[in-house]
Amino acid sequence: MECVKIVLLAIFALASFTGKTESATDSKLVCYYDSRAYNRPGNGKFDIPFLEPALQFCTHLIYGYAGIREDNFKISPLNEPLDINKQNYRHITDLKRKYPGLRVLLSVGGNNDVTGEGSEKNLKYRTLLESVESRLAFVNSAHDLVKNYGFDGLDLSWEFPENKPKKIRNAVSSWFSKIKHKIVGESVVDEKAEEHKEQFTALVRELKNVFRHDGLLLTVSVLPNVNSSVYFDPRQLAPNIDFATLEAFDYRTPQRNPKELDYVAPLYELLDRKVDENADYQVRYWLGGGLPANKLILGIPTYGRAWKLNDDSGLTGVPPLLTDGAADPGPYSNEAGLLSYPEICSKIATPKEIQAGYLGKLRKTNDPTKRYGSYAYRLPDSNGENGIWVGFEDPDTVGNKAAYSKAKGLGGIAIVDLTLDDFRGTCSQDHFPLLRAAKFRL
Ligand SMILES: *[C@@H]1O[C@H](CO)[C@@H](O)[C@H](O)[C@H]1NC(C)=O
C-alpha cells in the first residue's frame, strides 16, 4: 500500500514537473508586462531579462501595449524605438523557445494609447467600431502584426469611456444634485453605448474568424472603471474569446477621487459604496451574463494607490477619509499617487521600528476579513504635512483573491503587472512575491 502511494506520488511529481497534468493544475496565470517600464528611473527600469524568474509561473504573457492609428484604424506599435528597433516584439516572442508552454499575446490599448479629452477622449476606439471597413482594417493589420512577430494572439484592452468618478459635495449641493438626478437621470457618458457594445461583439467575431485558421488566441481585458454592463455582452463574446480578464481594481484613484480616498480593489461590497465597485460583483456579472467560469480571469494589481493625509483626515486611518489628493511619486515608479509593491514594502514599519515608535515609517493594517484589502498610513506631522495613506495588495490579499478564483471555478488570475511587483527581490529574498503568492494559492 505504502509502495503504491510512493509510486503514485512519483508519477504525479513527474507529471507536474513536465507540465502534463491537466484539470486542477491547468488554472491560468496571466502575466501582464507593460513595456513602458523600460523608461522608469533607477531600480524601476525593467527590461526583458527581468521577466525570467517570473516565467516559470506564468501560463500567458501579455505584452503591453500596441495602439491604433487615428487616420486608418490599423493597429500600430506605440513605441517603435523599443518594440521594433530594439526588437522587443521579437525578444518577447523568442522567450517561447525557453518556456515552451508559454503563450505570448500582444495587447492593444490598455490606457497607454490615450488621445483627446472630455467626450473626445479615446474617440478612435469607438469610431473604429462604427464601420465595417474600419473594423476590417484593424482586423487585417492586427492579424499581420501578430503573425509577423510570432505572437500567439491578441488581447483587446479596449479603451472604452470610464464611469464618472464619485463627486464629493457639501450637504446643500448634494441635496440639489439628488433632485437634479431625479429629473434628468445620471449624466450619460456615451450616448451610443448600446451600439458600441454590439459593434464590439462584431469586432471580436470578425477577429476570431480570421485568427481561427492560424490557431491564434483572442482575449479581452476589461480596463478599470469601464462599466462591463454597458460595454460587454458576455454571452455573445463567449464563443469567440479564449478568456476575459477583469481588471477589478482602481475603483478609487487619486486622479479620479482627489478629495476622498478609499479601498482601491475590494473583493466584496462595502457598506455605503456603489454595489458594483468590487471584484465579486464584476465576476457575478460576467458569469450571470453567460461567460463560462473557466474563461474568466480575475486581475490583481501589483501597485498601490496613495493619497496625502491632512488634518481633516482624522486619526484612525480607516477609509473612506478626506484627503488632499495624490501622494508624491515613488522614486522608481515615478507617477503621482502610485507606488509599486517594493516601494510600499520598504515604507512599512518592521516590528523593531514599531517598538521604537515607527520612526516615520507606515503603520500597516491587514485585512482579517479577507474582503477589502490592506492599507498602510502615516498621520500628518504637527505642521499637517507628510501624511500618507496607501491601499494595496500584499501576498496575503493576493492569495485570498487566488483562493476566491479557485473556489468559484474561474479560469485563473492575472497579475497586472509584473513590472510593479518586486522583481528585484528587495522586500524579501523572493523575486515577484505577489506573483508567487498567486501561484501558490491557485
Ligand atoms: C454601470 O452601469 C449600470 C447601468 O447599466 C449602472 O446602474 C451602474 O451604476 C454603473 N456603474 C458605475 C460604477 O457607474
Using a 6 Å cutoff on CB, does residue 189 contact ligand 1?
no
Using a 6 Å cutoff on CB, does residue 227 contact ligand 1?
yes
Question: What is the CA(246)–ligand 1 centre distance, in A?
Answer: 16
* Contact assessment for residue 113 and residue 68, using Cβ atoms and an 8 Å cutoff: yes
Could you report the per-residue pLDDT of 52-84, keeping only the tens digit for each? 999 999 999 999 999 999 999 999 999 999 999
Could you report the per-residue pLDDT of 124-170, keeping only the tens digit for each? 999 999 999 999 999 999 999 999 999 999 999 999 999 988 776 65
Q: Which of 17, 24, 20 is nearest to 412 (CA)?
A: 24
Could you report the per-residue pLDDT of 419-436, keeping only the tens digit for each? 999 999 999 889 999 999
What's the pLDDT score for residue 409? 97
Question: What is the CA(81)–ligand 1 centre distance, in A?
Answer: 40
In terms of CATH architecture, what is 25-302+393-441?
Alpha-Beta Barrel (3.20)
Give the position, in ligand 1's atom list, of the atom nearest the Cα of 228: 1
What's the pLDDT score for residue 198? 98
For 309-336, give one letter per residue: b (16+ CB within 10 A) or e.
Answer: bbeebeeebebbbebbebbebbebbeee
What's the pLDDT score for residue 167? 76
Global pTM reads 0.91
What's the pLDDT score for residue 16? 45
Using a 6 Å cutoff on CB, does residue 426 contact ligand 1?
no
Using a 6 Å cutoff on CB, does residue 273 contact ligand 1?
no
Domain chopping of the chain, boundaries: 25-302+393-441
What's the pLDDT score for residue 1? 47
Instruction: Give the chain as a 3 state SS string.
Output: CHHHHHHHHHHHHHHHHCCCCCHHHHCEEEEEEEHHHHHCCHHHCCCHHHHHHHHCCCCEEEEEEEEECCCCCCEEECCHHHHHHCCHHHHHHHHHHHCCCCEEEEEEECCCCCCCCHHHCCHHHHHHHHCHHHHHHHHHHHHHHHHHCCCCEEEEECCCCCCCCCCCCCHHHHHHHHHHHHHHCCCCCCCCHHHHHHHHHHHHHHHHHHHHHHCCEEEEEECCCCCHHHHCCHHHHHHHCCEEEECCCCCCCCCCCCCEECCCCCCCCCCCCCCCCCHHHHHHHHHHCCCCHHHEEEEEECEEEEEEECHHHCCCCCCCEECCCECCCCCCCCCCCEEEHHHHHCCECCHHHHHCCCCCCEEEECCCCCCCCEEEEECCCCCCCCEEEEEECCHHHHHHHHHHHHHCCCCEEEEECHHHCCCCCCCCCCCCHHHHHHHHHC
Q: What is the mean pLDDT of the chain?
A: 92
* Contact assessment for residue 301 and residue 340, using Cβ atoms and an 8 Å cutoff: no
Using a 6 Å cutoff on CB, does residue 277 contact ligand 1?
yes
> Beta partners for 108?
66, 156
Residues in the chain with pLDDT < 70?
A: 1-25, 168-188
Using a 6 Å cutoff on CB, does residue 163 contact ligand 1?
yes
Neighbours of 45 (CB within 10 A): 13
What's the pLDDT score for residue 364? 97
Give the position, in ligand 1's atom list, of the atom nearest the Cα of 164: 14
Give the position, in ligand 1's atom list, of the atom nearest the Cα of 274: 13
In whole angstroms, give the CA distance from residue 275 to residue 334: 33
Give the position, in ligand 1's atom list, of the atom nearest the Cα of 225: 13
